[in-house]
Homo-oligomer: A and B are copies of this chain.
Amino acid sequence: MSTDVTSSAGLQDLLSPRVVRSTVLPFIQQQVSELESTLSRVCRYHLGFIDEHGDPSSGGDGKLTRASLMMAVADGVGLRPEDVRSQAAAVELLHNATLLHDDIADSDELRRGRPAAWKVFGVSLAIHAGNALQALGLRLVVDDSGPGHNEIAGSFTEALGLVHAGQARELTIRPDSAGLAVYEHMVMEKASALLEWSLGTPAIRAGKPEKDLAALREAGRHLGIALQISNDVEDIWGDPAVTGKPIRGDITRRNLTFPVLAALSADNPPGDHLGRLWQADNTTAEHLQTLADLIDEAGGRKTAERLSRGHLDSAVENLGRAGLSPTATAELTTLFDRIVNRAV
């Protein structure tokens, strides 16, 4: 149920990801290299800067989606990349801190097509490394003294609290009628909070009116839901070469992702059949295929894809009301689409 993305292909023809590569990425590399040396090594491995032997690596790094969104909005409100460089770095560090810890919590052995950090360095160091990335991100935001810094820092710690709440709430989703409501609540915390912050922060810095800020946050909220549901679909029917993770990790662990919840609540024979098979302690590829087929037949896939598309449309709609420059609006519209639809 990760909201991470793998390949850096597919965004490089856009401006904001190139700005991130030239402005934010070197800054992150420098900051992380100044951490205590063991932590630095674990973090640089997780971020894809080095391989497990400590040699430089160009693979495995993420798309830096959140930083790209932030840079695109910055451009759209007339800021220079440097004006939100610390914040763009911080949101990527925070996001990666949650991934480091998530992989331990979920016993996920693969991340971006490479062994997860805890498999290489052990649980202990991976826990500390996640904390170190989180602390570093917070320090960058708290130490910043540009316009709106109090509001930016306050909303950052609030978003962080929401992400942790969402991670815990995810564990409480049950396969009953209330499950979909809990799922929706979880997604807004776990997936949307940092995206809302990424889109809203440049507007705060630029002193934009409250209605523009509200539209950007609303766009982030819808984008998070669209992305999470799209990732849920991808886990079941996507290509592991694209996701960088083993296929069907979610249904192997019987995570109640959106397509499953939609199928279970569909009130039709395949949904009922799925309900009977769901709890069986069977993780063979054949059984997972049966579950996937039943989810599809019950309509879970179609409902998920439709809902994801609807939220993507709402995200783009809100973007159009945010008072950004037309160029930035076009860039963000393309970014939104690529982020959500990379593989579904």
Partner of A39, one of B39, B131, B164: B164
B-facing residues in A222-273 (Cβ within 8 Å): none
Q: With A135-B160, A157-B138, A158-B139 given, is the CB distance from A125 to B168 under 8 Å?
A: yes
Partner of A132, one of B132, B145, B164: B164
Query: Is A128's CB under 8 angstroms from B39's CB?
Result: no
Partner of A125, one of B156, B171, B189: B171
Query: Is B125's CB under 8 angstroms from A127's CB?
Result: no
**A101 adjacent to chain B (CB < 8 Å):** yes
Q: Which residues of B contact A105 (CB under 8 A)?
A: 123-124, 127-128
**A13 adjacent to chain B (CB < 8 Å):** no
CB-CB contacts of A126-163 with B at 8 A, as 1s and 0s? 01110110111011001101000010011011101101
Q: Which residues of B contact A36 (CB under 8 A)?
A: 164-166, 168-169, 189
**A82 adjacent to chain B (CB < 8 Å):** no
Q: Which residues of B contact A131 (CB under 8 A)?
A: 98, 101, 131, 134, 164, 167
**A33 adjacent to chain B (CB < 8 Å):** no
Query: Is A142's CB under 8 angstroms from B142's CB?
Result: yes
Q: With A38-B171, A125-B171 given, is the CB distance from A132 to B161 under 8 Å?
A: yes
> Which chain B residue has the least Cβ–Cβ distance from A161?
B135
Query: Is B143's CB under 8 angstroms from A157's CB?
Result: yes
**A35 adjacent to chain B (CB < 8 Å):** yes
Query: Is B150's CB under 8 angstroms from A164's CB?
Result: no
> Which chain B residue has the least Cβ–Cβ distance from A129?
B168
**A106 adjacent to chain B (CB < 8 Å):** yes
B-facing residues in A24-40 (Cβ within 8 Å): 35-39
**A8 adjacent to chain B (CB < 8 Å):** no
Q: Which residues of B contact A134 (CB under 8 A)?
A: 131, 134
CB-CB contacts of A162-187 with B at 8 A, as 1s and 0s? 01111111011000000000000000
Q: How far is the CB of A164 from chain B (nearest CB, A)?
A: 4
CA distance A26 to B145 in the complex (A): 33
Most chain B CB neighbours (cut-off 10 Å) among A36, A153, A160: A36
**A104 adjacent to chain B (CB < 8 Å):** yes
Q: Which residues of B contact A124 (CB under 8 A)?
A: 104-106, 171
Q: Which residues of B contact A39 (CB under 8 A)?
A: 164-165, 168
Query: Is A143's CB under 8 angstroms from B139's CB?
Result: no
Query: Is A139's CB under 8 angstroms from B157's CB?
Result: yes
Q: With A36-B165, A39-B165, A157-B135 given, is the CB distance from A101 to B127 under 8 Å?
A: yes
Most chain B CB neighbours (cut-off 10 Å) among A35, A153, A189: A153
Q: Which residues of B contact A150 (CB under 8 A)?
A: 145
Q: How far is the CB of A183 from chain B (nearest CB, A)?
A: 14
- For the complex of A and B, list the 6 residue pairs with the smallest distance between their C-beta atoms, beginning with the closest: A105-B124, A36-B165, A139-B157, A132-B164, A135-B161, A39-B168
- Residues on A facing B (Cβ under 8 Å): 35-39, 42, 98, 101, 104-106, 123-125, 127-129, 131-132, 134-136, 138-139, 142-143, 145, 150, 153-154, 156-158, 160-161, 163-169, 171-172, 189
